[in-house]
A and B are shown apart, each in its own frame.
Chain A
Amino acid sequence: MADEADGTAVSHHSYDVLVIGAGGAGLRAAIEARMRGKRVAILSKSLFGKAHTVMAEGGIAASMGNANPRDNWEVHYRDTMRGGKFLNNWRMAELHAKEAPQRVWELETYGALFDRTPEGKISQRNFGGHQFPRLAHVGDRTGLELIRTLQQKIVSLQQEDHARTGDYESDLKVFHEFTVTELFKDGDRIAGAFGYRRPTGEYLCFHAPAVVLATGGIGKSFKVTSNSWEYTGDGHALALRAGARLINMEFVQFHPTGMVWPPSVKGILVTESVRGDGGVLKNSEGERFMFRYIPDVFREQYATSEDEGDRWYDDADNNRRPPELLPRDEVARAINNEVKEGRGSPAGGVYLDIASRRTTEFIRKRLPSMYHQFKELADVDITAEPMEVGPTCHYVMGGVEVDPDTASTVVPGLFAAGEVAGGMHGSNRLGGNSLSDLLVFGCRAGAGAADYLDGLGTAPAVGNEAVDAALAEAEKPFSVRGEENAYTLHQELQQTMNDLVGIIRRADEMEMALKRLAELRDRIPRVGVTGGRAYNPGWHLAMDLRNMLMVSQCIAMAALERQESRGGHTRDDYPAMDENWRRELLNCSLADGPDGPEVQLNHQPQPAMRPDLFDLFELDELKKYYTGDELGGHRADRGM
């Protein structure tokens, strides 16, 4: 059915590896695969260099020990597991903690310029849940530095290729403003991908035996979010449709501090560095309320008085950290509760005050983007007055289930890294662990894909019928006229998820959400678009809606099933953490239903931690998460 005359011609391109997504994970994967001799195409939904990674502010967590020599991978590992309430995939957390320093140092060889310590090493700052100052940073624009550094490394590899072949794009090409709508398989194995160029609407078919998903998150399914328009769960949905599984989808991180005023910027992120650098949270009564919200599992690690908390900034060895630096889930719930109980700010948040605690010079030096953002968007001078902040949907812990060492999925040839992958962060991610996750597992995914190709026998082939079907699906919105409006349905979806599957959840509300999502599932195929294929945002949204819906169903189903509160999943009707649920993972997959594929939910056991890693914790701490029989193998039982 492909036809030159009506603009539906499909051009064909062949590569060894397709990387879908050009954020930190995608670019690092592409670099690795290219450096291992593979021909790589990067398919980026936005312009090259605009990925959501630029929004990361605080830093990259890596136990380099530059600020405190007592830091090492074991401490980082423990912090990560605690932050995720022991639901993390322990092997991913181990690889992450061990390899992060190497991945950060490597960035310096690409040209990155981090802030420095007096000895000239990479400076490291404090952050929530991290025992020592651990975040490599550049002011509060670390994500921009990361994306630009990787972008410039890609360019330098292209320059090497140009010197060798005369063509910058011979071995590594970026197709930017390109949306992937379908993955192709040959039998069980990945064979390629289909999508369209956003500027022109041209269709492209890629033939490639390995695909790395690095598409980021799902935040655009929620109304109040720090995420940009790209975050529509494309990779999550592509993986499901290709036969992979998603795990931990009930865990969605609401960052405690998003802007709340003016309404048009509600949700935009206010970096955790404000608190890491001395900022405190206050309610409308001027109280530093976080001292009332230290949960039992963290009681030993956090200060119980303002004096002790304040002393910690200068003497971390002899004082405990202030509770403003608890993991994000704890702080977000506390803010939510303060507002609910009537101690909120006029715009429905709480106050984040650094003005009264640090000098103007310090604030402008350490937090230049925040200063700029509040000045220009809210007319607030953060060196003189407090900010108003509240929780905003920020990150999905859930994602594609992968093998930790190779980032491969259950579908041969399909890999996933970064936010789209699940398991690493368990039920809650620590700030700073995202950028390091991108680098560690982006690199592993690129290597995994290269190794897979080296062991590949016959190359898989893309079938003509599959291409025709993908083309027909992409064309559909043009043949439906005017019944449903994509923007309206998107707003309804966001409102549903925000109100009914948000930061605090209840069974009856989630059942209602699932009912509304089922209605949207019937309405989305009736979305029509006006205009042509060239840069048509109405059409783009119509295509993205399918993915947002599928991901929202996964979140709501898993959240309804998990009858406990843990990390980024808080149940009003099951407020306690239940140790039996720590052994359970929930996974989502697609199964054939009467009206096409449907999301189905299953339980699977959480793999037990390797004994030597288990022994890194004290028995008393483990008792807060584990049941009696599981504690048997701990070193304490062996008299160690």
Chain B
Amino acid sequence: MGYRAKFEVWRGDSSGEGALQPFEVDVNEGEVVLDIVHRLQATQAGDLAVRWNCKAGKCGSCSAEVNGRPRLMCMTRMSTFDEHETVTITPLRTFPVIRDLVTDVDFNYVKAREIPSFAPPEDLAPGEYRMSQIDVERPQEFRKCIECYLCQNTCHAVRDHEENKEEFAGPRYLMRVSELDMHPLDVRDRKDAAQEDHGLGYCNITKCCTEVCPEHIKITDNALIPMKERVVDTKYDPLVWLGRKIFKREDLEARHATGRRSLDDAGPGNGSPLPADSIGPVGG
């Protein structure tokens, strides 16, 4: 069943220099791309750098781009390629290369820290929490996230725009805001922060994040769009609007200045059905 496959693997370091190195390597039945990388390490390139842990799609460590597609190497079966095809493996494009297939993903840890944590109700002691299954299911979907950062890598708001990294938390962390907002017992209001501190407005719902999610989480439909709806609900509620107009004009203006739109202006041109920032309430 085995055959000899052609591979091209990115070899390079943190200087940004590097090149694709060609390999010929044995492939056996049932193997995944990560098996092949391990075989290369053991037989041809002992110092080939790759990050991995569980090899079962549960830890989200072995993210890379296989033939240009953001993938977990442990969940990409060799049988999905033609035996004559050259398989190219490159590191995640959005993050700086440390070595070979390993990138510096610290951006994500910085963004994680910027999101205010779960705020529990003060009057409930441990053991007294009561939540219904139906209410926990929505945020539970987002807690399936294995933090592989494929969505962060793919979202064009940062993939093509390094300059947005400062103000845009990326799909994984906007989903985290949405998750906390949907937590039945979280007491913090997160709507303004989603827009103004974490850059929800940069998302033009092109659903690239959802497409690459190995956990099949509907990031855009179930996390980001509902969050946009709730933001819009408060932002354009006439009473809230009037209150702000009267009491917080300066504050609002200051916020508006930082809440600018993505450089990728939304619209038919980039596949987005609706412009950023304009998703109105659906069904009230």
Residues on A facing B (Cβ under 8 Å): 46-50, 52, 54-55, 64, 101-102, 105-106, 108-111, 113-116, 118-121, 123, 138-139, 141, 144-145, 148, 152-153, 155-156, 158-159, 162, 168, 199-200, 228-230, 261-265, 268-269, 368-369, 372-373, 376-378, 485-488, 491, 529-532, 534-539
B127:A47 contact, CB within 8 angstroms: no
Q: Given known contacts A101-B127, A262-B31, is B113 in contact with A155 (CB within 8 Å)?
A: yes
Query: Which of B102-110, B202-210, B250-258 lies at the binding interface?
Result: B102-110
A148 CA / B58 CA spacing, docked (Å):
12
B98 at interface, CB cutoff 8 A: yes
A486 x B46 contact (CB < 8 A) = yes
Minimum C-beta distance from A173 to chain B (A): 12
Query: For residue A106, which residues in chain B have a CB less than 8 angstroms away from its CB?
Result: 126
Q: Decide if B104 touches A199 in the complex (CB within 8 Å).
A: yes
Distance in angstroms from A453 CB to nearest chain B CB is 26
Cα A49 to Cα B53 in complex, Å, equals: 11
Residues of B within 8 A of A139 (CB): 140
Do B53 and A113 touch (CB < 8 A)?
Answer: no
Asked if B102 contacts A199 (CB within 8 A), the reply is yes
Shortest CB distance A98–B (Å) = 14
* Nearest CB of B to A532, in Å: 8
Q: Is the CB of A373 within 8 A of B14?
A: no
B61 touches A46 (CB 8 A): yes
* Contact residue among A101, A138, A488 (Cβ-Cβ distance under 8 Å from B140): A138
- Among candidates B58, B99, B105, B112, residue contacting A534 with C-beta atoms closer than 8 Å: B99
Within 8 Å by CB of B54, from A101, A105, A228, lies A228
Residue B67 interfacial (CB < 8 Å): no
Are A263 and B28 touching (Cβ within 8 A)? yes
Contacts of B32 in A (CB 8 A): 264-265, 377
Q: Which 8 pairs between the two chains have the least Cβ-Cβ distance?
A: A262-B30, A531-B47, A111-B118, A156-B117, A120-B130, A538-B46, A105-B126, A487-B42
A144 to B143: give the CA distance in the assembly, Å.
8
Any A CB within 8 A of the CB of B249:
no
B35 at the interface (CB under 8 A from A): yes
A162 smallest CB distance to B (angstroms): 8
Partner of A145, one of B54, B113, B131, B143: B143
B5 within 8 A of partner (CB) = no
Q: How far is the CB of A255 from chain B (nearest CB, A)?
A: 13
**Residues A487 and B46 in contact, CB atoms below 8 Å apart:** yes
Question: B281 near A: Cβ within 8 Å?
Answer: no
Chain B residues lying within 8 Å of A52, measured Cβ to Cβ, are 53-54
Binding site secondary structure of chain B: loop
- Flag if A168 contacts B113 (CB, 8 Å): yes
The answer to whether B129 touches A105 (Cβ under 8 A) is: yes
B53 touches which of A152, A228, A369, A529 (Cβ 8 Å)? A228
B153 smallest CB distance to A (angstroms)? 15
* Complex: chain A residue closest to B129, CB-CB: A108
Inter-subunit contact B30/A265 (CB<8 Å): yes
- B47 and A148 contact, CB distance less than 8 A: no
Cβ-neighbour of B30 out of A46, A119, A261 (below 8 A): A261
* Contact present for B58 and A54 (CB under 8 Å): yes
Residues of B within 8 A of A228 (CB): 52-55, 59
Provide the bound-state CA to CA distance between A139 and B32, in Å.
26
Chain A, Cβ-Cβ closest to B60 = A50
Specify the chain A residue showing the minimal Cβ separation from B176: A152
Task: Name the contact of B112 in the complex, choosing from A155, A529, A539 (C-beta under 8 A).
Answer: A155
- Which B residues lie within 8 Å of A47 (CB)? 51, 61, 105
Beyond known contacts A113-B140, A262-B30, A536-B47: 16 more, CB 8 A cutoff: A46-B61, A50-B147, A102-B127, A106-B126, A113-B136, A113-B139, A115-B133, A116-B132, A144-B58, A199-B98, A228-B54, A228-B59, A230-B53, A264-B30, A529-B46, A538-B46
- Write the chain B residue with the least CB distance to A531: B47
Residue B48 interfacial (CB < 8 Å)? yes
Chain B, residue nearest A176 (CB): B109
A548 to B48, CA, bound (A): 22
Q: Which of B59, B75, B105, B140 contacts A376 (CB 8 A)?
A: B75
- A535 with B99, Cβ < 8 A, contacts A144-B146, A265-B30 known: yes
Total A-B pairs, Cβ < 8 A: 177
| Docked CA distance A101–B127 (Å) | 8
In the complex formed, the residue of A with least CB distance to B126 is A105
Q: A48-B109, A535-B100, A537-B41 are in contact. Are A152 and B58 (CB under 8 A)?
A: no
Set of chain B residues within 8 Å of A148, measured between Cβ atoms: 143, 145
Task: Give the CA-CA distance A228 to B104 in the complex, in Å.
Answer: 21
* Distance of A273 from chain B, by nearest CB (Å): 14
B53 contacts A50, C-beta separation under 8 Å? yes
Bound complex: CA A123 to CA B183 (Å): 17
- Partner of A377 from the list B51, B77, B143 (CB cut-off 8 Å) is B77
- Residues in B whose Cβ lies below 8 Å from that of A155: 112-113, 117
Q: Check A54/B59 contact, CB under 8 A, given A199-B102, A534-B14.
A: yes
18 pairs of residues in contact across A and B, judged by CB atoms under 8 Å: A46-B61, A47-B61, A47-B105, A50-B147, A109-B120, A113-B136, A118-B133, A123-B133, A141-B144, A264-B28, A268-B56, A369-B58, A372-B57, A372-B216, A486-B46, A536-B99, A537-B47, A538-B41
Mark contacts of B216-249 with chain A using CB atoms, 8 A cut-off: 1 yes-contact digit, 0 otherwise.
1000000000000000000000000000000000
Q: List chain A residues, Cβ under 8 A from B13.
A: 534
Smallest CB separation, B197 vs chain A (Å): 13
A55-B54, A229-B52, A264-B30 known; A531 and B126 CB under 8 Å? no
Q: Within 8 Å of chain A (Cβ to Cβ): is B50?
A: yes
- B52 contact set on A, CB distance < 8 A: 228-229
A589 to chain B, nearest CB (A): 31
How distant is the Cα of A145 from the Cα of B49 in the complex, in angstroms? 29
Q: B17 interface residue, CB < 8 Å from A?
A: no
How far does the alpha carbon of A153 sit from the alpha carbon of B144 in the complex, in Å? 17
Q: Which residues in A have their C-beta under 8 angstroms from that of B113?
A: 155, 158-159, 162, 168
Q: For A145, what are the chain B residues with a Cβ–Cβ distance below 8 Å?
A: 143
Quick check: B30 and A116 within 8 Å, CB to CB? no
A5 to B79, alpha carbons, bound, how many Å? 47
Contacts of A48 in B (CB 8 A): 109
- B29 in the interface, Cβ–Cβ < 8 Å? yes
- Asked if B273 CB lies within 8 Å of chain A CBs, one says no
Closest chain-A Cβ to B259's Cβ sits at a distance in Å of 22
Q: Counting CB contacts under 8 A, is B271 at the interface?
A: no
Q: Does B116 contact A (CB under 8 A)?
A: yes
Judge whether A120 and B132 touch: CB under 8 Å. Answer: yes
